[in-house]
Structure 1
Amino acid sequence: MISETVRMRYGWIIILWCMAVFPVMAQRMHVEDFGRYKKPFLHKASFTTDKRQALLDFFTNEKGFQFFVEDAPVAATEGEGMVTLALPHRTGSLIIKHPVYGQLAWKVPNGVLKKKKHYHAYLHTESLEKEFRQQKQWALISTVPERAIVYVDTVIHPLLDGNLSLYLPLGRHVCRIESPFYQTLNDTIELTDIVRFEKRYVLQPFYAYLTVETDWPDARICLDGDSLGLQRVETSRLMPGRYRLTVNLGDSLYYEQWLELANAERKVVDLHGIELRPFPQLGQSIEMSGFPDEVLADSMASDGLQEQSGQWADVHITAFDVDTEIWLNRERLGQGEWRGNLAPGFYAVSSRKEGLDSRTDFFWVDAGKSVELNLISPLADYGLLNVSCDEVDATVFLNGLAIGSAPCVLRNLPVGRTYRVRLVKGRKAAETLVRLRGNDIVNVKLKLK
Structure 2
Amino acid sequence: MKRLSLLILFAVLLALPALSQQISVESFTPLENDLTANTAGTMKKDQNGKTCALIKVVTSEKGFNFDVGILGVVATEQKVGEIWVYVPEKIRFITIAHPQLGVLRNYPIPQQVESARTYELRLVTGKVHTVIEEAQTDQFVVFHISPADAILEFDGQPLLLDAEGSASCFKPFGKYQYRIERKDYHTEVGSVTVTAEKASVNVNMRPMFGWLEVNSANAGSDARVFVDGSDHGTLPLHTLQLGSGKHLLKIIKPLYHIFQQSVTIADNDTLRVNAALKSDFRNYTITGDADADIYINQEYKGHGSWSGPLASGTYRIELRKPSHRTTIRSITINANDLSANDIISLPAPTPIYGSLKVTSSPMEATVAIDGKVMGKTPLFIKEVLIGSRSVTLSKDGYKTETATTDIDERKTSELNIVLNNAIRVKFTSNVTSVVNIDGKYIGLTPCDALLTCTKHEISMSADRYQSRTETIDISEGSSLISWQLKPNFKKVTISCNQNANFYIDGKIAGSGYSISRDIDYGEHSISAYYEGKSKETTITVAEGNESSVGFSFRKKRYHENYVSNDAFYMGAIYQCLNFQGAGAIMGFFAGKFNMEVSFIAGNESKEVDWYTSTNSLAHTSDFKNWRINGRIGWGLRCGNVVRITPQIGAAVLALQDRSKIADETAPSACSFTGSMQFALVYKKLCISVTPEYYVPVAKSDGMKELVKVSDTYDKALKGFDLQVGISLIF
Q: In which range does the TM-score fall when normalised by the shorter chain?
A: under 0.3
| Structure with more contact order per residue of length (Cα contacts < 8 Å, sep ≥ 6) | 1
Higher strand proportion (structure 1 or 2): 2
Q: Give the structure with higher Rg (CA).
A: 2
TM-score by length of 1: 0.25
| Superposition TM-score, scaled by structure 2 size | 0.16
